[in-house]
């Protein structure tokens, strides 16, 4: 029996991160005004906006409704300083494709510690085959950021990608559009197809045949307005909370239901949650709809093959759900998880074990045996927003006592996450005790409380308080 938790309410998840990046980039490359509504104003998307501004594009401050006056790719200029991609792999990889194709422009891409560890060779190898001029500027043998690119005329490319990666595919398509050359990319499994859809909406005759995308030479990009739909990857955390509750339901409005992105909801349904699409419409070439999620008795699943790219960003949450499902869940073919904002296979397994779950690492996935016993312990988020939210959902369940590091990382994709978690549980979610990251062990830990309204409060505490009872939640405030 689960301890009672009621969820209620309607949530409009923030704008889709992938579509937000692409809306900015494509607006910058087109010649004319593109209006962007409901962009995700998160740290990752700010990184793309900042880089475009440094390249000379007039990107206004991100707001719910603004216009980018694009002047075409040829108007982009060598930036006065390195382009800071922060934590954002999409910024770094998509920009690499654009910059490689801009003769006369030279730029250095930099990122934070997590992004700098992530592999860039998957993008630079095919770009170099097109004739791109680029250099890794880190330690010898390091194939991540910092990366310097000097734009050059590019050749056509036919690339058989070893990775099902939308970032790789998109970087090459953008390089092809800007350079005006033919590009064909074949993937082992289809990755998210927002770039293809958004190029088509802008008049580019991109063709998709099975796992192959073909961009003809000499295509022109028209300006186009975008109304960014809600991010299904962000919605997944609240859907999971609703699935784990004991009563009530959540309505998730305006969620992007692109079939290359809805694998997480399908797997949640396969686990036994009641996930229903209440209405679906087309918004600028992307299906968008409302979801209703109700609790259900959860059972283990086996996820692999084509399941994986459609649910890649949802797998940390699904692994946490598996900890509360009956039976043993197996996730395979998910080696891409090792090169996300953290090594999500290693980190999820270590964190599940740290709170008392039977979990095991596989080279390409993980095995999690579910149970109903209370979970207690401290998890490490490694600066990874999706780990912060996945374990934040487990931590919110009554009876669990999970302390976590780095709640602020949610700002990368879902700045309002903690507030929504509090709102939909009527303030009854267990407050999250926040442990300091190992690197800042000398700092006092902080305790975060989910408010019903307004900003979350974070207070320093002399002890990490595991919030099993309200009495043990008293914090000692310190300056």
Catalytic residues: 313
CA–CA distance, 362 with 434 (Å, rounded to integer): 29
Provide the b/e sequence for 313-329 (b: ≥16 CB within 10 Å): bbbbbbbbbbbbbbebb
Closer residue to ligand S3P, CB minimum distance, 219 or 336:
336
Using CB under 6 A as the binding rule, whether residue 196 contacts ligand S3P is answered as no
Per rule CB under 6 A, count of chain residues that contact ligand S3P: 12
Judged by CB under 6 A, the residue of 167, 260, 262, 290 near ligand S3P is 167
Closer residue to ligand S3P, CB minimum distance, 27 or 446:
27
Closer residue to ligand S3P, CB minimum distance, 310 or 324:
310
Closer residue to ligand S3P, CB minimum distance, 18 or 184:
18
CA–CA distance, 324 with 313 (Å, rounded to integer): 19
Direct distance between the N- and C-terminal alpha carbons of the chain, in angstroms, rounded to an integer: 41
Give percent helix, percent strand, percent coil of the chain, each to the nearest 5: 35, 25, 40
Phi-psi category of 382—alpha, beta or left, where left has phi over 0 and alpha has psi -120 to 50?
left
Using CB under 6 A as the binding rule, whether residue 333 contacts ligand S3P is answered as no
Beta bridge partners of 281: 288
Using CB under 6 A as the binding rule, whether residue 84 contacts ligand S3P is answered as no
Considering only 165-173, 210-218, 374-382, 396-404, which stretch makes contact with ligand S3P by CB under 6 A? 165-173
Judged by CB under 6 A, the residue of 110, 313, 314, 420 near ligand S3P is 313
Q: Which of 240, 232, 248 is nearest to 425 (CA)?
A: 248
Asked if residue 372 lies in contact with residue 299, where contact means CB atoms within 8 angstroms, the answer is no
Token pair 């690492």: residue: 361
Q: Least distance to ligand S3P from the beta carbon of 411, Å?
A: 15
Asked if residue 341 lies in contact with residue 315, where contact means CB atoms within 8 angstroms, the answer is no
Using CB under 6 A as the binding rule, whether residue 262 contacts ligand S3P is answered as no
Q: Least distance to ligand S3P from the beta carbon of 283, Å?
A: 18
Asked if residue 53 lies in contact with residue 60, where contact means CB atoms within 8 angstroms, the answer is no
Token pair recorded at residue 236: 């997944």
Using CB under 6 A as the binding rule, whether residue 260 contacts ligand S3P is answered as no
Q: Which of 212, 206, 151, 208 is nearest to 177 (CA)?
A: 206
Dihedral sign from CA coordinates of 186, 385, 19, 295: positive
CA distances from 74 to 30, 56, 65, 101 (A): 10, 11, 26, 10
Tell me which residues in 240-259 interact with ligand S3P (CB under 6 A).
Answer: none
Considering only 109-117, 160-168, 196-204, 390-398, which stretch makes contact with ligand S3P by CB under 6 A? 160-168
Asked if residue 278 lies in contact with residue 292, where contact means CB atoms within 8 angstroms, the answer is yes
Beta bridge partners of 288: 256, 281
Binding string, 39-58, against ligand S3P, x = CB under 6 A? --------------------
Using CB under 6 A as the binding rule, whether residue 420 contacts ligand S3P is answered as no
Considering only 144-152, 163-171, 234-242, 314-322, which stretch makes contact with ligand S3P by CB under 6 A? 163-171
Closer residue to ligand S3P, CB minimum distance, 124 or 378:
124
Using CB under 6 A as the binding rule, whether residue 16 contacts ligand S3P is answered as no
Q: Least distance to ligand S3P from the beta carbon of 90, Å?
A: 4
Q: Least distance to ligand S3P from the beta carbon of 221, Å?
A: 18
Binding string, 59-78, against ligand S3P, x = CB under 6 A? --------------------
Q: Which of 85, 74, 155 is nearest to 120 (CA)?
A: 85
Judged by CB under 6 A, the residue of 87, 91, 191, 262 near ligand S3P is 191
Judged by CB under 6 A, the residue of 7, 11, 15, 18 near ligand S3P is 18
Judged by CB under 6 A, the residue of 170, 290, 329, 378 near ligand S3P is 170
Closer residue to ligand S3P, CB minimum distance, 166 or 240:
166
Considering only 66-74, 162-170, 322-330, 370-378, which stretch makes contact with ligand S3P by CB under 6 A? 162-170
Q: Least distance to ligand S3P from the beta carbon of 313, Å?
A: 5
Burial (CB count within 10 angstroms: exposed 0-12, middle 13-18, buried 19+), residue 359: buried
Residues making contact with ligand S3P (CB under 6 A): 18, 21, 90, 165-167, 170, 191-192, 312-313, 336
């Amino acid at each position: 029996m689960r301890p009672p938790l009621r969820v209620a309410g309607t949530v409009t998840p923030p704008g889709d991160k992938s579509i937000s990046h692409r809306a900015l980039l494509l607006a910058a490359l087109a010649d004319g005004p593109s209006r962007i509504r409901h962009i995700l104003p998160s740290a990752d998307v700010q990184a793309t906006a900042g880089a475009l501004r440094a390249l000379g594009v007039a990107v206004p401050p991100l707001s719910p409704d603004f216009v980018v006056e694009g002047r075409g790719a040829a108007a982009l200029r060598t930036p006065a300083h390195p382009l800071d991609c922060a934590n954002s792999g999409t910024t770094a990889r998509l920009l690499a494709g654009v910059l490689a194709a801009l003769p006369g422009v030279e730029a250095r891409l930099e990122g934070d510690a997590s992004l700098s560890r992530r592999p860039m060779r998957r993008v630079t190898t095919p770009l170099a085959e097109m004739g791109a001029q680029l250099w890794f500027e880190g330690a010898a043998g390091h194939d991540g950021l910092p990366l310097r690119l000097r734009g050059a005329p590019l050749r056509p490319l036919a690339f058989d990608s070893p990775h099902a990666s939308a970032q790789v595919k998109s970087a090459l398509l953008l390089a092809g559009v800007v350079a005006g050359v033919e590009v064909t990319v074949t993937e082992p499994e289809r990755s998210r197809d927002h770039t293809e859809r958004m190029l088509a909406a802008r008049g580019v005759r991109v063709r998709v045949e099975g796992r192959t995308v073909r961009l003809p030479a000499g295509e022109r990009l028209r300006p186009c307005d975008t109304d960014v739909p809600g991010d299904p990857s962000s919605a997944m955390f609240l859907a999971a909370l609703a699935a784990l509750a004991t009563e009530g339901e959540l309505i998730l409005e305006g969620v992007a239901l692109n079939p290359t992105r809805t694998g997480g909801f399908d797997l949640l349904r396969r686990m036994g949650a009641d996930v229903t699409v209440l209405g679906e419409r087309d918004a600028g070439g992307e299906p968008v709809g409302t979801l209703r999620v109700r609790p259900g008795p959860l059972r283990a699943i086996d996820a692999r093959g084509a399941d994986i790219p459609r649910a890649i960003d949802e797998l940390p949450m699904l692994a946490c759900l598996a900890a509360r499902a009956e039976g043993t869940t197996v996730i395979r073919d998910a080696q891409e998880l090792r090169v996300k904002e953290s090594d999500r296979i290693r980190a999820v397994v270590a964190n599940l074990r740290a709170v008392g779950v039977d979990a095991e690492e596989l080279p390409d996935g993980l095995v999690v045996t579910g149970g109903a016993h209370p979970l207690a312990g401290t998890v490490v988020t490694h600066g990874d927003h999706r780990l912060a939210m996945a374990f934040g959902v487990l931590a919110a369940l009554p009876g669990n006592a999970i302390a976590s590091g780095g709640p602020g990382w949610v700002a990368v994709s879902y700045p309002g996450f903690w507030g929504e978690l509090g709102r939909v549980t009527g303030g009854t979610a267990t407050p999250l005790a926040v442990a300091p990251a190992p690197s800042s062990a000398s700092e006092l830990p902080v305790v975060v409380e989910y408010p019903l309204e307004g900003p979350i409060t974070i207070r320093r505490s002399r002890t990490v308080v595991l919030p099993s009872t309200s009495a043990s939640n008293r914090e000692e405030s310190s300056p």
